[in-house]
Structure formats: C-alpha cells, structure tokens
Amino acid sequence: MHRTRARLSDGREIVYYDEAPGRVPVPDPRGLPPVEPVCEVRRDPLTGDHVTITAHRNARTFLPPADQCPLCPGGPASEVPDASYEVAVFENRFPSFDVRTPPVPPVVDGVPGGVPRARGKGRCEVVCFTDDHAASMALLPVSRVRTVVDAWADRTAELSAIPGVRQVFVFENRGVEIGVTLHHPHGQIYAYPFVTPRTERMLAMAAGRDLFGEVLAAERAGPRVVAAGEHWTAYVPAAARWPVEVHLMPHRHVPDLAALDDGERDELAVLYRDLLRRCDTLYGDPLPYVAGWHQAPAGEGRDLVRLHLELFSVRRAPGKIKYLAGSESGMAAWINDVPPEAAAARLRGVTAGGASG
C-alpha cells in the first residue's frame, strides 16, 4: 500500500492509497472558501450520553444525480480532483467533529444547574473504496478490499494520535433505507472526543474478564457460525437485535485495525467480501446495511475491548423493512422477529455470488 497526501482548495486533507507507487495528485481547481465548522457536544443530564450539535450538516449533499456525484473522480463538483483513484480518503466537508471548531460556553444557558457543553473536537473522514460509481465493496477484487483494510488501519492509527480524540469508529452505511445520501461506494471514519455509549457499556461488562474471548469461544462452538478461517470467525450473535446481524471477530485479541498483522488483514479481505456477498444474495438484491468496526478507545480499556465488526440490516424479509418501534426507539428495549439461529442458517446456506477475483 502506497500513501500520497494532498490538500483540497479549502485546506482539507486528502490521502490516496494505491497498490503501486507513483501518484502525483492533481490540484483542486474549485477555489472553495476555508471550512468553518461549528461542532459542539452537550451532555444529557439524565443519561450522561454525549449529544453532538452540528447545524451546518443540514446543508450537506443529498442524493445527487450520478453525473454530479462528488465522489466520482475529476468532475467539477468532485471532492477527488484526480481523474482516477483506487482508494481515497478526505476530510468530510460537513463534519460532525472538527478540531477547527470555535470555542463554546461551558454550559447551556437557561438550564437549572447547567448542561455541560464543549467543542466538538475531532475529525470526520470519507473513505472512497473505488472510483467506479456503480460498484460496491462486495464486487471489488480481494486486492482492493485489502487496500481498503490497510487504509482503515492507517487512518485509525493517525486519528487516534490526535490530541483530544478518545475513540475512532470506521463504518459504512449502504442503501437509502439506512439513510445514505450518496450512492457511490464509500464509508466514513469518526474520531470522537468522547468514548461512545455502546463502548462504555462494553467496558463495564468486560471489567475483570476476557469477555470477548469467552463470547467468541461460545459462538465458535455453537450453531450460529456463518463462516470461519484461521484468524477470523463470522457469526450471528445469540442476542442479535436486528433481523440480519453478523459479527466478525479476530481469534487473537487486538484493540483496533492498526494492530492487525499481515495474515489477519489478508484473511479479513477475503472473509469480509464473502460475508457481504452472502448478505447481497440473501434476499436476491443488494442488502441495505450498516457495517461498523468497534475498536477500543484510544487511551483506555485496550486490554478489555477486542476489535470486531458488527454488520446489521433493517431488511427483515424481501420487500419488508424493520422500523424501530416505540420499544426500541423510546426505551432501547429491542425486539427481534427473526431467531438468530434461523438467520445464521440462511446466511450459511446462500452462495456468495458476485464477480470473482
């Protein structure tokens, strides 16, 4: 993997990841004004959760026609000035977190006792998997998926080192049912200035034990394994929340993507693509999904939280969507209509279709 850095016309960084050296970046001709993000984080006094406020994101691009896609290379509206690319990563033009955001008052006005607020320091990046607008991660050659894995690992290491960043989350949203606003194959990376609520709960559950090792050993011995290799196992968790939900976990304890060795990255590229192809075959058309890499916080709990992927879909049957009802949305009390064992059997039984390579 070869990394090349450049700047967009408004000062944001763009990084190219190529399988071969020699890229000379093309200057961004757009003449954009400097970015002026306004991101703040408020703390819910009832739950302790962090809530991010980012009014500027209301102006972000929403489902443009293919000929105006900002992720396709070289066009007048493109965020990637080069005529072609393999994997490109750039700072989000509409970030939820940004180190350049201005200071805010320490508390929210008009609330008895005060609600804490702080700058939304951090970084948000877009990861373009390919310059082919009509492709998908599942249809890429294994070599390209491997380059994406290396890019994820490289960005995780770099963003984790930013002062004030406490956790890095790598994820992909796909499908309008999920809320995707750009169809071009891409994912995102959030560098949070706090530890996320889900990870805080994992840290509490894992205290004093090898929780992830125990869960993986139990799942590998049970009926919910979907696919496995020397270094990784994909399984439907016993307490799956979603009608389609698969976790992919390394057999070795590693805190984040940057800690994976070459053998683990090689196998991950194969198994992850296989998993995505199984998902796309499940109902006969591309599955809308969220695929998120849960990593240990940057400075704490790195011996407790093991890197793992959680992939889930809102599709519960052909043509049917699981909408979050009052129990899930209002109380975070989940109800799943599909038994995890049945979901695992269906995923095992489908053939991972798609192009070879």
DSSP 8-state code for residue 232: E
Longest dimension (CA), the chain: 61
Burial of 90 (0-12, 13-18, 19+ CB in 10 A): buried
Q: Is 183 a residue of the active site?
A: no
Q: Is 72 within any annotated ligand binding site?
A: yes
Q: Is 308 within any annotated ligand binding site?
A: no
Q: Is 133 within any annotated ligand binding site?
A: yes
Count of CB atoms within 10 A of residue 342's CB? 12
Q: How far apart are alpha carbons 140 and 145 in whole angstroms? A: 7
Distance of CA 69 to the CA centre of its chain: 20
Q: Is 124 within any annotated ligand binding site?
A: no
Nearest to 136 by CA among 13, 252, 277: 277
29-34 own/partner pairs: CB under 8 Å, 24+ apart: 29/81, 30/76, 32/8, 34/10
Q: Catalytic: which of 50, 186, 247, 294?
A: 186
Q: How far apart are alpha carbons 206 and 129 in whole angstroms? A: 34
Which residues participate in the annotated binding site? Answer: 69, 72, 133, 184
Which residues participate in the annotated binding site for Zn(2+)? Answer: 69, 72, 133, 184
Q: Which residues are catalytic?
A: 186
